[in-house]
Structure 1
């Protein structure tokens, strides 16, 4: 894949932006036990550290297109990556539950604006390579999530054994990304185009709603185990260190699925097939945790492969069907906005049920059941495999 120097800059900026879209959320899970003890939080309250940014993510996605139309997409992305970095660094001053929840809210808002705009950025600058760029974009997010889960505990120990210092460390990713985006702004020529196109959400499109429901349940399942998998491992008798390792492996296991998805789709173009296979992988991982004493590492690999591929598909479908960068941003904004609001409910429900039932096992049964619904929705939105017609944009 040959790229001009300009597009190499844009690709580098895309990767660095994607690195910033998960650590503010995923770095919480490996130190969640220390946070709950240090701040005296219940499991339900602690789950809000994941649910609140997802809710904000969803709500703020609704405004991404409007902001891009008014201020230019690249400038908006740069501003909100800077916001994510500043707020992440501010976690070093955490001394209360409220303060930490506020940082989660603001980080979620920044992610909610940046994420759909990156879909439009891909559509505008790499229209013929969208699938490959989505693979790189998704892989970069997974890398960001993986390193934040795996390295937050040791970084915490290196930085005066402080979990707040460990969380704040990830602001370095924004510090690296912002200079690249300032160069992108100088090189971009999309300002006039984006000002002329009115951004509207496809709220009257039935297929958009089906896709949104699909995105919502995929997101819910992913963030439930992203938030609670280390704690589930500990409840089953594992150490805190093993919980962190399992969480990291689950994230790393997403890499093959996200990176290879474009090639897999070329080999077997049926999205229905891949939705089914990837969802079954998640259900197998959950079943191993629920019904066996097999090492949770195997479960984490199944969860990672399945979720990595499904999340990539949720990013690719809106871009494939859009006829312009702003349209891609609008469809991505709708599916991510409402979808991530649905997803935000998941970690809280898991935390609440754990407080009420005293065990994570019944919550795993619930997630396995949701897997069947994801498959049914996947079959519905890929009916006839002719997605060009099924997802025509109004």
Structure 2
């Protein structure tokens, strides 16, 4: 990711929040406008986060209907479940460059509009190719927005980064689980057409687009000037690479590709992402083929995804207190292996237990993000490591869902696919233990 470290700045000194503009009668008006704009940004963050996963988790419960409606075979359906990580790797890497050129708010606004258009277009597609293209359009908007959300939080809420990131993460998990749970009942209530069921999620994109249009308008009205936590102006243009007196960017002399720890984190990220997208794309169909009703299968996927809401708050705190995160990697991996074994031997009889175990296993995502933050000493190093690990990981995650679909089509069952998933989970455990060692990438280790 090009020059991603430009978005990382140190905390401002108190003097940067003082000056003539922070006093006087005009300050009250400015603070009032800032508070109103801040409320718009909060609403925009929530709506954007709610909109970042329904394109994926809302498709799984209706995948069988989509396959039949478009004449899509299992291999192509597997390709469809591999598109999200591909788009996240390709389009997400362009987000910092776009933000430097146009500003982060403008790019997020365009991203939300793109999501809405893509979701609406794929519901109208009359063939597999058009459906894939429209899905890629929606996922491109998701990719750039996903990368820029932390930038938005840092810009508007520099003194509340933790709480606002928590709100954003919780909304993202809620959107993931909610789409999985309500897509089938909503589709049935709207007449039973999978096209209507998928198109309905475009409305969330429209709401997010409207909210970010209001934020963009308010930002242009305020001159695009960054504000610190107490409403005072700072000398930095939002989303650009230019910094003012109160900012400094840490030097970046780190060659991340020479670090074994960076590569271990990248592979670990890829293995957990592969497991997550296989679960989102194929778990409902595995359960349906075992005799579980479509609506129940969607609800079970929602439970699996919803496990990330409470655990995402707890797991990073536990991991941060440990010098070696290997035991957590193993514990989450064992939960995943147990879930796969359950789907092999008793897919319907113990389905609720298996989806709970897979939900715990999927919490490797907040764990790997925490590990990324702990494997570097500097903010610029963390950004470089994060960009490398995520781009590498998402590329590695592409084949998994595709192979699962191909194996199911050629064997007529799920045992071969579950064997592949088990192998990937064993690899995740092995490389995660290596990545969890107490190392820093600055040391070349």
For Structure 1 versus Structure 2, the TM-score category normalised by the shorter chain is: 0.7 to 0.9
Equivalent residue for 1:53, pick from 84, 99, 112: 84
Equivalent in 224, 231, 242 of residue 285 of structure 2: 231
User: Would the aligned equivalents of 2:254 and 2:442 in 1 still touch at CA under 8 Å?
Assistant: no
CA contact (8 A) 1:84 1:106 kept: yes
C-alpha RMSD of matched pairs (Å): 3.1
Calculate the TM-score normalised by the size of structure 1: 0.86
Q: Pairwise mapping of residues 167-246 of structure 1 onto structure 2 (< 5 A)?
A: 167-185=198-216, 186=219, 189=226, 191=237, 194-196=240-242, 204-206=257-259, 207-246=261-300
Match of 1:301 in 2: 356
Structure 1 128/375 Cα, relative in aligned 2: closer, same or farther at 3 Å? Answer: farther
Q: Structure 1 residue 194: deviation in Å?
A: 3.0
Alignment match of 2:174 (pick from 143, 166, 170): 143
Separation in 1, partners of 2:253, 2:75: 36
Distance 2:213 2:373 in 1: 25
For 1:363 and 1:343, locate their aligned partners in 2 and report how far apart those are by CA, in whole Å.
15
1:108 paired to 2:154: no
Give CA deviations for 1:360-379 in whole Å, capped at 9, x if unaligned: 12221222222222122222
TM-score by length of 2: 0.77
Q: Which runs of 5+ in 1 are unaligned?
A: none
User: Structure 2: 5+ residue runs without aligned partners?
Assistant: 1-33, 227-235, 243-248
Q: Given that residues 64 and 333 in structure 1 are in contact (C-alpha distance below 8 angstroms), is that contact kept between their aligned partners in structure 2?
A: no
- Identify the residue that residue 276 of structure 1 maps to in structure 2: 330
Q: Please list, as runs of the form range in 1=range in 2, the aligned pairs for 1:1-394 lying within 5 A after superposition.
A: 5=35, 9-124=40-155, 133-185=164-216, 186=219, 189=226, 191=237, 194-196=240-242, 204-206=257-259, 207-265=261-319, 271-292=325-346, 294-307=349-362, 309-318=363-372, 321=376, 323=378, 331-384=385-438, 389-390=440-441
For 1:108 and 1:100, locate their aligned partners in 2 and report how far apart those are by CA, in whole Å: 12
Q: 1:335-356 CA deviation, whole Å, 9 max, x = no partner?
A: 3333122212111100001111
**1:135–1:312 Cα contact (<8 Å) kept:** no
Between Structure 1 and Structure 2, whose CA radius of gyration is higher? 2
Instruction: Tell me the CA shift for residue 227 of structure 1.
Output: 0.6
CA contact (8 A) 1:69 1:199 kept: no
Q: Secondary structure at the match of 1:160?
A: coil
What displacement does 1:28 show? 1.0
Tell me, what secondary structure is at the counterpart of 1:194?
Answer: coil
* C-alpha displacement of 1:125: 5.1
How many pairs were matched up? 386
Q: Residue 95 of structure 1: SS of its match in structure 2?
A: coil
Q: Give the whole-Å Cα distance in 2 for the aligned partners of 1:201 and 1:105.
A: 33
